[in-house]
């Protein structure tokens, strides 16, 4: 279970740290006016400062409870959290597996896993959907539009 | 009426069996690349380009421009059905198109989008037909300060409105600007904000950001709230296609206004993306049902779609008459013109009459072919909504992953896209608006370049933004649009006491 | 020189065609052409023209895919080439910014990370002014520029266009305000609209504008007149443009080569295969057609000649960059 307050805090910290990174990096590019006009770091620096200031405001507003009706205490219940994880974790594993397995094998495995493991569909049905997905990708991207999707380290090792 | 007889001559070139066949082929291929995010019209057109080297230039341009029309239409399909904009210019279509489709009305949403898109395109072609030389002169008047003023106007029309918590809007906007600045800076040539990752020198592509923010982000929201239960009920209904198109004339004001905005932004350097955002923003502000925007309003679909296509069509004019491409696809076609041995520029209209007028005539015919084909596909696409969520969800993930990858064949982009997915989910959940973020990513760096170019020209004086009538008008209009909501806000208590003053959850839902 | 290289390449093509054993290495899988420019840019057009010629004449059995990596003024493509070290299936198409960009900005590559194959064509530079500008020669232009600050447009910052602008400043004793745009085509439109005083575009970038009477070239930065070709306007063609030296602007030669690279750490046989392939491409009539339509000059530099060219250009650019304070620390 995650409270709205915790979520607000986490997001404000996320945006704030991005802002700090922007400010620090833009200092390298120079700020202000030079013979070459407005220097490259000026605008990123300003936006970075705005992000940091805004995030601080959101952080404070997130901590101090207000009368606003939108401030429901619970943002994500544990059941919702499980549903979110059920979608995101396999997707993240899929992305992580692409460099090794390649796009075709990884996506087929991904489709098969998310359909067959929670028993949404029969094994056969899942296998057919998975194979059809990989085949469609191959035909449309590799053949029709000549976009070469990653084949993966495994395929390279096997000599494809 | 010289142009009219030229146009009739053009029709005799365009309306031949081989050319009609080329149009249909081009449109169908275009719909396919448009539907698949990450491929997009520029890729499709550049792939077809080598095939056209052996063709007559006029046949080649008919094939390529038909593909462009098809892709423009196809780009709206995934925006409406899955909240994944395949093209930058169809982001604004997701704002009302997706809620309408999710409510079980995908057919209405698609048909409305296509119908208004065709209207926008036709207005754009008519403009090209009759005002070509005038338009070329107008475009020449735009130097860096005027470019900046146009971008400023687009921001002002979209960002200045109330709704979301103002500080969250500002944060989202600033993050968008910072993301736009990543990579090589045009004005100084230096590398910015790469965060120590060498590959980021190329910048963060818009499609990568949007696929994560909208596609994955929305998927997470949907799975959490179990939205998808409702969408399954949609059924195939051919009659609804025609009913939806038939209802369009009722929104005549919105159609005309959006077409005007689209043409204006297509001729000036704003382009289709800025046009669709600006049109949506203005519609939301001036429509009587403006506060329902974001929940599946018809005018919320009409406005961005009409403007997008009007701009996309009129963007071809600066390409032909000046040699500046108004869009990424136009840039590819321009490369094609050179290879076919034609030189875009003021003399094209004099030297290559058959080519130019054949192309313009093909725009009329091609758009009609495109809208007919695309309306036929509506029930097919709408049927996609009947696929159970558990099956469609992993497919959407794969589309986003492949789309992000194919933008520049980069695995890093896939990882960034997934990161944007989390950000998109958090922002949605906590009512940070996504639209200003996206708008800033698209035109933020262009606005910055134009500003700094102006500063170079004026040696640091802001007076350059008030140096002539054109730029002054644009800047003043932008400021007025920015201040308008404030003025209305101040005036409201005097006009009506009943206006709700506090944020309610119901109201927050409306915010995109 | 031009004729000779052509003869040589025809000879090489014949040789390679008749004796397949000559090529020790042959590609076994699809080849990727990486254009360090967006779709529609000059480098992209070159890559696609070469792809088209190779496919048409079946110069290789393997399919060829063109990939655009034009982000960061081309740096994206070079970084990609660096990361693909040892992979002979990636051919990178670029310009002189392969060695110029690392000098002036903190990009994560240097040309030494790549294996040079060839410089295939040279783009010329010209000095352009608005059609109704009062000056007729480069000398007049310099005189006018001395009394007022002129605005010079160009593509990108600290790249070829700006380097040339700074050279003009030095040789002509004038001060120019350089305004960088995304592309030469954009600068051309800005000149037509009267927002700039001049630019130094390549012929193909301003051809349409010249023909349309919005701008005209004053002189070409080349030791001799450009080759004879069809007339562009009613009275003039490229060969009628005087050289800058003739007009008192003492810059003898300034050209932009279109370059072809392999990633680093490939074998000499693999590099030799692609040198040979490019020579065969250059011997086709389609190539000549492409060169003529894009108003470029046909050249072929490879091996030691190409290395020498890079070294000379690098020394020269380094000097300009250090005078301007552009060198990265």
- What is the residue-averaged pLDDT of chain B? 84
Position C43 in a domain:
yes
* The residue to which tokens 């009739």 are assigned: B8
Please answer yes or no on whether B324 and C158 come within 8 Å at the CB atom: no
Whose structure tokens read 């910072």?
B178
Q: What is the mean pLDDT of chain A?
A: 88
Q: What is the predicted pLDDT for the residue at B186?
A: 87
- Same domain? For C169 and C227 the reply is yes
Distance between A101 CA and the closest CA of chain C, angstroms:
19
For residue A49, is it left (φ>0), alpha (ψ between -120 and 50) or beta? alpha
Residues C132 and C110 in one domain: no
Q: Mean of the pLDDT values across residues B7-19?
A: 90
| C114 and C151 together in one domain | no
Q: A84 and A138 share a domain?
A: yes
**Structure tokens given for B182:** 């990543």
User: Could you tell me if residue C209 is inside a domain?
Assistant: yes
Of A7, A33, A41, Cβ closest to residue B429: A7
H-type helices in chain C, by residue range? Answer: 2-18, 42-56, 75-83, 97-104, 138-147, 160-172, 184-192, 203-211, 268-282, 285-293, 303-324
User: Which of C28, C63, C65 is the best substitution to test chain A (most A C-beta atoms within 10 A)?
Assistant: C65
Among A59, A76, A93, the domain boundary falls at A76
Q: Whole domain around residue A18: which residue ranges?
A: 2-76
Gap between the Cα atoms of C43 and C36, Å rounded: 7
Phi, psi of C106 (to 5 degrees): -80, 65
Confidence of residue B496 (pLDDT cuts 50, 70, 90): very low
Question: ipTM of the predicted structure?
Answer: 0.93
Residues from chain A contacting residue B427 (CB–CB below 8 Å): 11
Which of the listed residues A53, A76, A99 is the one where a domain comes to its end?
A76
Same structural domain for residues A63 and A108?
no
Is some CB atom of chain A closer than 8 A to the CB atom of C32? yes
Q: Which residues of C touch A147 (CB under 8 A)?
A: 65
Q: How far is CA C206 from CA B134, C168, C211, in A?
A: 21, 20, 9
A68 pLDDT more than 60: no
Q: Is the pLDDT of residue B349 over 60?
A: yes
Q: Report chain B residues whose CB lies below 8 A from the CB of C193.
A: 140-143
- What is the SS3 string spanning B439-474? HHHHHHHHHHHHHHHHHHHHCCCHHHHHCCHHHHHH
Q: Domain check: are C7 and C107 in the same one?
A: yes
What is the spatial distance between Cα B93 and Cα B277, in angstroms, rounded to a whole number? 9
SS3 per-residue string spanning A36-86 = CEECCCHHHHHHHHHHHHHHHHHHHHHHCCCCCCCCCCEEECHHHHHHHHH
Domain C-terminal end among C240, C265, C291 = C240
**Do C58 and C98 fall within a single domain?**
yes
Chain B CB within 8 Å of residue C8 CB: no
Averaged over successive runs of 10 residues, the pLDDT of chain C (329 residues) comes to: 42 42 76 86 86 91 86 90 93 94 90 95 94 92 91 91 94 94 86 94 86 90 88 88 93 92 95 95 93 87 94 93 88
- pLDDT band at residue B238, thresholds of 50, 70 and 90? confident
Question: Could you read off the pLDDT of A18-57 as tens digits, one per residue?
Answer: 999 999 999 988 888 887 788 899 999 999 999 999 999 9
User: C-alpha dihedral over B233, B239, B244, B248, to 10 degrees?
Assistant: 180
CATH (domain of C267): 3.40.190.150
Q: By three-state DSSP, how is residue B204 classified?
A: coil
pLDDT in tens, B181-226: 999 898 988 899 989 888 898 899 888 998 899 989 989 988 887 7
Residues A99 and A43 in one domain: no
Residue C217 lies in a domain: yes
Is A25 buried (19+), middle (13-18) or exposed (0-12) by CB count in 10 A? buried
Same domain? C234 vs C279: no
Task: Using pLDDT thresholds of 50, 70 and 90, give the confidence band for residue B160.
Answer: low
Tallying the residues shown for chain C, one arrives at 329
C178: domain CATH number is 3.40.190.10
Least CA distance to C66: which residue of chain A?
A146
Q: Are residues A25 and A92 in the same domain?
A: no
Closest CA to B309 of B156, B129, B93, B14: B93
Three state DSSP letters for B132-183: HHHHHHHHHCCCHHHHHHHHHHHHHHHHCCCCCCHHHHHHHHHHHHHHHHCE
Asked whether residue B465 carries a pLDDT value surpassing 60, the answer given is yes
CA triplet B275, B307, B142: central angle to 5 degrees? 45
Q: A-chain residues within 8 Å CB-CB of C86?
A: none
Residue C280 and residue C214 share a domain: no
Q: Are B117 and B371 in contact (CB under 8 A)?
A: yes
Q: 3-state class of C117 per DSSP?
A: strand
The string of pLDDT tens digits covering residues B101-138 is: 888 888 999 999 999 999 999 999 998 888 877 877 78
Q: What is the DSSP letter of A138?
A: I
**What digits encode the pLDDT tens for the residues B360-407?**
898 899 999 999 999 988 888 888 878 888 888 999 999 899 989 988
Which chains touch A (3+ CB pairs under 8 A)? B, C
Give the residue from C30, C39, C103, C156 with the most B CB atoms within 10 Å of its CB, the best one to mutate.
C39
Residues of chain A contacting C33 with CB distance shorter than 8 Å? none
The confidence score (pLDDT) of residue C100 equals 93
Looking at C194, C213, C240, the residue that finishes a domain is C240
- Searching chain A, which residue's CA lies closest to the CA of residue B417? A95
Residue B511: predicted pLDDT: 38
Q: Please indicate, yes or no, whether residues C117 and C131 belong to a single structural domain of this protein.
A: no
- Chain C neighbors of B409, CB-CB under 8 A: 67, 69
Beta strand C31-35 with C297-301 is: unpaired
Quick one: A62 and A86 in the same domain?
no
Residue C189 in any domain: the answer is: yes
Overall size of chain B counted in residues = 512
Cα separation, B291 vs B279, in Å, equals 15
The answer to whether B269 touches B150, Cβ cutoff 8 Å, is: yes
Residue C329 lies in a domain: no
**Residue that wins the pLDDT comparison between B354 and C219:** C219
Domain check: are A83 and A154 in the same one? yes
Contact B455/A at CB under 8 A: yes
Of B174, B132, B403, C126, nearest to A52 (Cα)?
Answer: B174
Is residue B259 classed exposed, middle or buried when 0-12, 13-18 and 19+ CB atoms within 10 A define those classes?
Answer: buried
* C46 inside domain: yes
Cβ–Cβ under 8 Å, residues A100 and A152 = yes
Shortest CA gap C293–chain B (Å)? 6
| Residues from chain A contacting residue C30 (CB–CB below 8 Å) | 148
Instruction: Say yes or no: A65 and A101 in one domain.
Output: no
What is the nearest CA distance from B246 to chain C, expressed in angstroms? 39
Q: Exposure of A143 by Cβ count < 10 A (0-12 exposed, 13-18 middle, 19+ buried)?
A: exposed
Find out whether B303 and B254 touch, Cβ atoms under 8 Å. yes
Q: Would you call C71 and B203 a contact, using CB atoms and an 8 Å cutoff?
A: yes
Write down which residue in C213, C240, C267 finishes a domain.
C240
Do both C130 and C118 map to the same domain? no
Q: How many structural domains comprise chain A?
A: 2
Q: What angle is formed at CA C273 by the lines to CA C272 and CA C274, rounded to 5 degrees?
A: 90
Domain that holds residue C218: 126-240
Separation in Å, CA of A98 to nearest CA in chain C: 18
Q: Residues A7, A51: one domain?
A: yes
The reply to whether A101 and A141 lie within a common domain is yes
Q: Are both A96 and A34 inside the same structural domain?
A: no
C176 in a structural domain: yes
Within this chain, do residues C96 and C165 fall inside the same structural domain, yes or no?
no
- Domain tally, chain C: 2
* pLDDT (average), residues A110-119: 91
- Distance (Å) from the alpha carbon of C159 to chain B's nearest alpha carbon: 8
- The verdict on A100 and A139 lying in the same domain is yes
- The answer on C190 and C281 residing in a single domain is no
Q: Does C314 or A77 have the greater pLDDT score?
A: C314
State which of A24, A59, A76 marks the end of a domain: A76
Does residue A91 sit in the same domain as residue A105? yes
Q: Do residues B221 and B238 touch, judged by C-beta distance below 8 A?
A: no
Task: Give the residue from C21, C148, A110, C136 showing the smallest Cα distance to B396.
Answer: A110
Q: Is the dihedral of CA C65, C66, C68, C69 positive or negative?
A: positive
């Amino acid at each position: 279970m995650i409270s709205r307050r915790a979520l607000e805090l986490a997001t404000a910290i996320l945006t704030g740290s991005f802002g700090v990174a922007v400010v620090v990096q833009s200092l390298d590019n120079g700020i202000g006016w030079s013979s070459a006009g407005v220097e490259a770091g000026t605008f990123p620096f300003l936006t970075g400062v705005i992000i940091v200031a805004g995030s601080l405001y959101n952080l404070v507003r997130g901590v101090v409870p207000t009368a606003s009706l939108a401030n429901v205490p619970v943002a994500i219940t544990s059941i919702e959290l499980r549903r979110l994880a059920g979608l995101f974790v396999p997707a993240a594993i899929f992305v992580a597996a692409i460099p090794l397995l390649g796009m075709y094998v990884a996506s087929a495995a991904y489709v098969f896993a998310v359909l067959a493991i929670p028993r949404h569909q029969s094994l056969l049905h899942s296998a057919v959907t998975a194979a059809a997905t990989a085949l469609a990708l191959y035909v449309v991207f590799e053949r029709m539009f000549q976009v070469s999707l990653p084949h993966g380290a495994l395929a390279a090792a096997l000599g494809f | 009426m010289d142009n009219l007889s030229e146009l009739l001559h053009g029709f005799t070139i365009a309306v031949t069996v081989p050319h009609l066949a080329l149009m249909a082929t081009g449109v169908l291929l275009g719909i396919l690349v448009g539907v698949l995010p990450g491929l997009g019209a520029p890729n499709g057109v550049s792939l077809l380009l080598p095939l056209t080297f052996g063709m007559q230039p006029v046949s080649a341009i008919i094939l390529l421009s038909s593909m462009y029309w098809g892709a423009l239409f196809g780009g709206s399909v995934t925006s409406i059905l899955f909240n994944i904009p395949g093209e930058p210019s169809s982001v604004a279509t997701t704002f009302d198109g997706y809620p309408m489709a999710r409510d079980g009305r995908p057919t209405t949403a698609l048909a409305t989008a296509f119908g208004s898109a065709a209207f926008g395109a036709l207005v754009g072609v008519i403009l090209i037909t009759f005002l070509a030389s005038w338009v070329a002169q107008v475009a020449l008047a735009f130097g860096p300060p005027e470019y900046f003023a146009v971008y400023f106007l687009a921001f002002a029309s979209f960002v200045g409105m109330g709704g979301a918590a103002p500080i969250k809007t500002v944060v989202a906007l600033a993050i968008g600007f910072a993301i736009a600045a990543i990579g090589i800076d045009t004005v100084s040539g230096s590398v910015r904000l790469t965060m120590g990752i060498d590959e980021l020198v190329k910048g963060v592509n818009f499609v990568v950001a949007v696929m994560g923010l909208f596609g994955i982000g929305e998927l997470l929201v949907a799975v959490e709230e179990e939205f998808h239960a409702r969408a399954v009920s949609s059924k195939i209904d051919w009659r609804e296609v025609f009913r939806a198109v038939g209802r369009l004339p009722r929104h005549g004001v919105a159609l005309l206004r959006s077409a005007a905005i689209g043409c204006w932004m297509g001729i000036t350097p704003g382009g289709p993306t800025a046009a669709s955002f600006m049109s949506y923003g203005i519609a939301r502000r001036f429509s009587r049902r403006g506060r329902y925007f974001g929940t599946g309003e018809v005018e919320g679909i009409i406005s961005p779609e009409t403007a997008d296509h009007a701009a996309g069509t009129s963007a071809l004019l600066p390409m032909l008459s000046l040699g500046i491409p108004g869009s990424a696809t136009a840039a590819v076609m321009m490369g094609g013109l050179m290879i076919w041995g034609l030189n875009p520029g003021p003399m094209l209209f004099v030297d290559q009459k058959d080519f130019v007028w054949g192309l313009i005539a093909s725009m009329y015919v091609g758009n009609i072919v495109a809208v007919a084909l695309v309306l036929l596909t509506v029930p097919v696409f709408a049927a996609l909504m009947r696929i159970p969520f558990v099956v469609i969800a992993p497919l959407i993930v794969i589309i986003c992953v492949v789309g992000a990858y194919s933008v520049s064949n980069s695995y890093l982009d896939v990882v960034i896209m997934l990161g944007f997915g989390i950000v998109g989910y958090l922002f949605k959940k906590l009512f940070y608006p996504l639209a200003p973020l996206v708008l800033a990513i698209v035109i933020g760096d262009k606005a910055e370049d134009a500003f700094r170019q102006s500063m170079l020209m004026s040696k640091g004086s802001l007076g350059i933004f008030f140096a002539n009538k054109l730029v002054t008008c644009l800047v003043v209009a932008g400021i007025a649009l920015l201040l308008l909501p404030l003025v209305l806000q101040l005036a409201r208590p005097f006009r009506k006491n009943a206006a709700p003053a506090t944020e309610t959850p119901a109201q927050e839902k409306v915010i995109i | 020189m031009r004729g000779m290289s052509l003869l040589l390449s025809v000879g090489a093509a014949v040789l390679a065609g008749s004796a397949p054993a000559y090529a020790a290495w042959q590609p076994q899988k699809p080849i990727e052409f990486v254009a360090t420019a967006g779709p529609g840019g000059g480098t992209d057009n070159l890559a696609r023209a070469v792809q088209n010629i190779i496919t048409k004449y079946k110069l290789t059995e393997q399919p060829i895919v063109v990939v655009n990596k034009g982000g960061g003024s081309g740096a994206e493509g070079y970084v990609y080439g660096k990361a693909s070290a040892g992979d002979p299936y990636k051919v990178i198409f670029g310009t002189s910014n392969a060695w110029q960009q690392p000098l002036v900005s903190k990009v994560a590559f240097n040309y030494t990370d790549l294996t040079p194959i060839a410089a295939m064509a040279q783009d010329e530079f010209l000095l352009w002014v608005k059609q109704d500008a009062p000056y007729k020669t480069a000398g007049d232009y310099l005189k006018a520029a001395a009394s007022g600050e002129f605005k010079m447009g160009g593509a990108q910052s600290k790249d070829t266009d700006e380097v040339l602008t700074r050279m003009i400043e030095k040789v002509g004793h004038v001060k120019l305000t350089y305004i960088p745009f995304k592309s030469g085509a954009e600068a051309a439109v800005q000149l037509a609209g009267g927002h700039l005083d001049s630019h130094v575009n390549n012929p193909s970038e301003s051809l349409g504008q010249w023909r349309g009477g919005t701008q005209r070239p004053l002189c070409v930065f080349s030791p001799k007149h450009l080759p004879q070709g069809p007339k562009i306007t009613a009275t003039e063609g490229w060969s009628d443009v005087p050289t800058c030296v003739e007009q008192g602007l003492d810059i003898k030669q300034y050209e932009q080569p279109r370059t072809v690279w392999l990633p680093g750490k490939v074998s000499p046989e693999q590099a030799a295969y692609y040198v040979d392939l490019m020579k065969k491409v250059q011997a086709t009539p389609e190539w000549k057609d492409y060169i003529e339509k894009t108003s470029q000059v046909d050249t072929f530099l490879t091996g030691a000649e190409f290395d020498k060219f890079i070294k000379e250009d690098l020394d020269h650019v380094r000097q300009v960059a250090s005078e301007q304070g552009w060198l990265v620390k």
